[in-house]
Amino acid sequence: MSIFCSLQFPDTAGYVGFANLPNQVHRKSVKKGFEFTLMVVGESGLGKSTLINSLFLTDLYPERYIPGAAEKIERTVQIEASTVEIEERGVKLRLTVVDTPGYGDAINSQDCFKTIIQYIDNQFERYLHDESGLNRRHIVDNRVHCCFYFISPFGHGLKPLDVEFMKAIHSKVNIVPVIAKADTLTLKERDRLKRRILDEIAEHGIKIYQLPDADSDEDEEFKEQTRVLKASIPFAVIGSNQLIEVKGKKIRGRLYPWGVVEVENPEHNDFLKLRTMLVTHMQDLQEVTQDLHYENFHAV
Ligand code: GDP
């Protein structure tokens, strides 16, 4: 029996699953809605937009223009922030996804880092400004609470660009490393790549987001879930914008000549674990942003 069978991942078919957020947050913020900003970084073509659309069951980029190769050479990284309001069972989430198209295409990676770092700093700056202003009660929190860093499944670990970039932002934002397009890896390759990435992260002193241990008074199920989530980092995920019929049920997946890879099947990839991590740790990600990264920003 697979170890996943005993896990209590919510049946997320058709919903994201943040409706339990009120348990985590103060009532006031529930009324006003929950604000969260997620940044996605990684070379273009790694499946970032597809994964984001799969995660939030919405098309965040309906009018995105995909540049050709010739244009890419000219490009510097751009920042694209899209905000959607999602409501589930009366709970509102105002989600902003900050995408960084052009990352890795720019010839000068330093320029590319600068734009992204500038964006993160600008949000801190704005928050600081609003916090000291008169209208403190209605501050919109646009600080970047989490950064999914997409790693290519085709390399043998982290590329020098990955190392350099993660080090440039690790004291500013919570980094969650993600292996893209995990369907291109066999189980053995996936495990080897995960180990290699973790070793390199440690070797280079890169600080990634640390999932907090479950409190001792939490129930066993939650503790087990936390253990499994921790053991899955870096999450090896797949995304798809397509619904495929499998045994009479429409599921999100990728159809290959030999079968279907199911996005929301924990035996096929870590997509559900990534989503569970995000949804159950939104508040912690915000607190770490406030207590650690925002404080770091203050200190300089
Ligand atoms: P982005 O540039 O990183 O936002 O990448 P896109 O989401 O636009 O995806 C680029 C290409 O990769 C598209 O052809 C997608 O269909 C494909 N793709 C996206 N996710 C996956 C995945 O999980 N596995 C595989 N094999 N292909 C994917």
Tens digits of residue pLDDT in 93-142: 889 999 987 777 666 677 778 889 999 999 999 999 998 887 777 788 99
- Pick the atom of ligand 1 nearest to 46's CA: 3
Q: Is the CB of 104 under 6 A from ligand 1?
A: no
Q: Is the CB of 184 under 6 A from ligand 1?
A: yes
DSSP characters over 11-78: --TT----TTGGGTS-HHHHHH-EEEEEEEES-TTSSHHHHHHHHHTS-S-TT-----HHHHHH----
Evaluate whether 143 touches 129 at the Cβ level (below 8 Å).
Answer: no
Share of the chain above pLDDT 70, in %: 80
Distance from residue 51's CA to the centre of ligand 1 (Å)? 8
Evaluate whether 270 touches 237 at the Cβ level (below 8 Å).
Answer: yes
Q: Is the CB of 58 under 6 A from ligand 1?
A: no
Better pLDDT: 156 or 58 = 156
Task: State pTM to two decimals.
Answer: 0.87
Q: What does R_g of the chain's alpha carbons equal in angstroms?
A: 19
Distance from residue 267's CA to the centre of ligand 1 (Å)? 20
Looking at the predicted structure, is the pLDDT value of residue 178 above 50? yes
Average pLDDT, the chain: 84
The protein residue whose alpha carbon is closest to atom 12 in ligand 1 is 47
Rounded to 10°, the helix 48-56/271-280 angle is: 60
pLDDT band at 164 (very low <50, low <70, confident <90, very high): very high
The protein residue whose alpha carbon is closest to atom 24 in ligand 1 is 181
Looking at the predicted structure, is the pLDDT value of residue 63 above 70? no
Q: Is the CB of 48 under 6 A from ligand 1?
A: yes
For 252-263, the pLDDT digits (tens) are 999 999 999 999
Q: Is the CB of 280 under 6 A from ligand 1?
A: no
Spatial neighbors of 66 by CB under 8 A, at least 6 apart, are none
pLDDT band at 214 (very low <50, low <70, confident <90, very high): confident
Dihedral in degrees, nearest 10, Cα atoms 163, 169, 171, 173: -120
Looking at the predicted structure, is the pLDDT value of residue 9 above 80? no
Average pLDDT over residues 192-215: 96
